[in-house]
Amino acid sequence: MTGTGQQPRISTGVAGLDSILHGGLITGRSYLIRGPPGTGKTILGTHFLKAGVENGETSLFINLEESEADVRQNASSLGFDLSDVHFLDLSPTADVFAEDQSYDILSASNVEKKPFTDSVTDTISELEPDRVFVDPITQLRYLTSDTHQFRKQAIGFMEYLTSQGATVMFTSQNTADSPDDDLQFMSDGTIELDSRENVSTINVPKLRGSRTESGTHAITITDDGLVVYPQLKPLEHSQTFSTESISSGVSEIDELLNGGFERGTVSIISGPTGVGKTTLGTQFINNAAARGERSVLYLFEENYTTFRKRNESIGVPVSEMRESGSLHIQEMEPLDVSPQEFAQNVRTEVEEHGAEIVMIDGINGYQLSVQGGSDVLIRKLHALGRYLKNVGVTVIFIDEHQTVTGEFSATNSGVSYLADNLVFLQHVELDGKLQKVIGVLKKRTTQFERTLRKFEITDSGVVVGEPLTGLRGILSGSPEWNTPKQQSDDE
């Protein structure tokens, strides 16, 4: 494969990484793969070699630590068939690492060094490999007398391989006792893998001769190998769409919103627990299904069974929508998915399955997957919301705040500025009973009704009453009826 410009590119074998690299690796160069144990360095190298085989190239694995048998067995457990990959097994054995022996790579000058050097040069000469993976090059520290000699011989090794026409990946093990900073200078590119608190990441701080997608990207190791999820770049996605209003199917709600939510906008529905936020959002999904449109709902805080039973009890045919394909529902385990992986999931639903409404229930659960403070949450939600707006998708975020009654709060997560539309639901004590009200705080694209209405969820569905013009102090949670004098003064 080729990328931008004149320099030919080859795939790493991992689509997400190729995207970060703007098309793949530049051929005939060497690339350092660094990171602590268990982060997927060898797996990435295996992808690289297999991609070469699939492209009709010759791939060579030079293993300096694990034996060939172990490498093949580990690869097989991830579904990699390495039968077409050549091996030069230089893994340590008792006779190779006999006491006081020392081996250079490319500057053999005595009998002890010759067998090792010949193994490398003979294999390269015989195979003329297009791709070489060396794992790990830091093992050569044990074959040289000091750091200077190690660096000298490592540089010579890489120059030799690339001079023979190979594109090379090599791994290192960076430890406090043996840092690999020197290796970064000798490589044409560096790919860093890391894993902290169950979050695995990848970034590319260096790639000579090419731009890369900056930042920290997410990775997962699956039964199929390494999967990379690049950070979402909203400005790279756009399409033309109509900014028509999307109806909720409930006339009183549409009256509050002056027609509904506009296509390609972000809406936040906020309120305390049990007030009906998810049910309200589902009204827009239900009406979209009636128009023949597809929606996707991500449940971060509730399971599908509960959601289905609650909605079908008020006449929303969740099961029918799923069966018809007009609604895709996905239960999310926040601690098992990164924001980048989630964004890729959303993109797939939008770009491959045509979702026109995306609803996230709710922001608090999504924040667990972000594993950061409110500033990180806002950045991730902003990127996701901006992408969806750019491609004409209507977005609904459900936000729960902790105050059931009393002091009013627009949102709990400090994300109100992201919203084009902000609808709130609130519990109030009215005539000695706990009841609910609905109102609109913000609408960027059109005017809206600046009154509150009674909100109910009945066996027949959502019922919204007339404007509550005779009450004051509603948002305090304990409203009072206006006296005749107060009504006259208000008028």
3-state SS, residue 124: helix
- In sequence order, what are the beta bridge partners of 191? 33
Closest CA to 286 of 318, 333, 332: 318
Domain ranges for the chain: 9-230, 236-490
CA pair distance 323, 327, nearest whole angstrom: 8
Q: Higher pLDDT residue, 308 or 376?
A: 308
Tokens 């004098």 map to which residue? 485
Q: Higher pLDDT residue, 413 or 434?
A: 434
Pairing of strands 433-443, 421-430: antiparallel
3-state SS, residue 443: strand
Whether the CB-CB separation of 169 and 48 falls below 8 Å is answered with yes
User: In this structure, what token pair is assigned to residue 214?
Assistant: 């900056």
What share of the chain has pLDDT > 90, as a percent? 58
Closest CA to 184 of 165, 171, 194: 171
What share of the chain has pLDDT > 70, as a percent? 85
For every residue of 219-256, DSSP letters joined together read EEEETTEEEEEPPP-GGG--------EE--S-HHHHHH
Going by the DSSP 8-state scheme, the letter that residue 270 receives in this structure is E
Could you read off the pLDDT of 440-460 as tens digits, one per residue? 999 998 999 998 899 999 999
Cα distances from 260 to residues 124, 145, 248, 339, 394, in angstroms, run 68, 74, 6, 29, 11
**CATH class assigned to 236-490:** alpha beta
Going by the DSSP 8-state scheme, the letter that residue 9 receives in this structure is E
- In sequence order, what are the beta bridge partners of 425? 438
Could you read off the pLDDT of 122-176 as tens digits, one per residue? 999 999 999 999 998 887 776 666 777 778 888 888 899 999 999 999 998 766 6
pLDDT at 254 over 80: yes
Positive or negative, the CA dihedral 461, 466, 472, 475 is positive
Burial profile 444-476: b = 16 or more Cβ within 10 angstroms, e = fewer: eeeebbebbbbbebeeebbebeebbeebbebbe
pLDDT at 59 over 80: yes
Radius of gyration of the chain (CA): 30
Average the pLDDT over each of 96-105, 139-148, 200-209 and give the range with the smallest value.
Answer: 96-105
Side chain identity at 118, as an amino acid letter? D
Which residues make Cβ contacts (< 8 Å) with residue 416, sequence separation at least 6?
Answer: 268, 410, 422, 441, 442
Positive or negative, the CA dihedral 252, 255, 259, 262 is negative
Average the pLDDT over each of 172-186, 223-237, 325-339 and give the range with the smallest value.
Answer: 172-186
**Cα of 206 vs its chain's centroid, Å:** 22
CATH superfamily of the 9-230 domain:
P-loop containing nucleotide triphosphate hydrolases (3.40.50.300)
Instruction: Report the 10 Å Cβ neighbour count for 345.
Output: 16
CA pair distance 56, 72, nearest whole angstrom: 20
pLDDT at 44 over 90: yes
Could you read off the pLDDT of 329-380 as tens digits, one per residue? 999 988 888 889 999 999 999 999 999 999 999 898 888 877 766 778 888 8
Q: Higher pLDDT residue, 176 or 55?
A: 55
How many residues appear in the chain? Answer: 491
- Largest alpha-carbon pair distance within the chain? 110
Task: State mean pLDDT over 93-99.
Answer: 47
Whether the CB-CB separation of 256 and 250 falls below 8 Å is answered with no
CA pair distance 70, 185, nearest whole angstrom: 31
3-state SS, residue 100: coil
Could you read off the pLDDT of 8-37 as tens digits, one per residue? 899 999 999 999 999 999 999 999 999 888
Could you read off the pLDDT of 381-408 as tens digits, one per residue? 999 999 999 999 999 999 988 665 555 5
CA pair distance 426, 408, nearest whole angstrom: 8
Closest CA to 349 of 365, 334, 360: 360
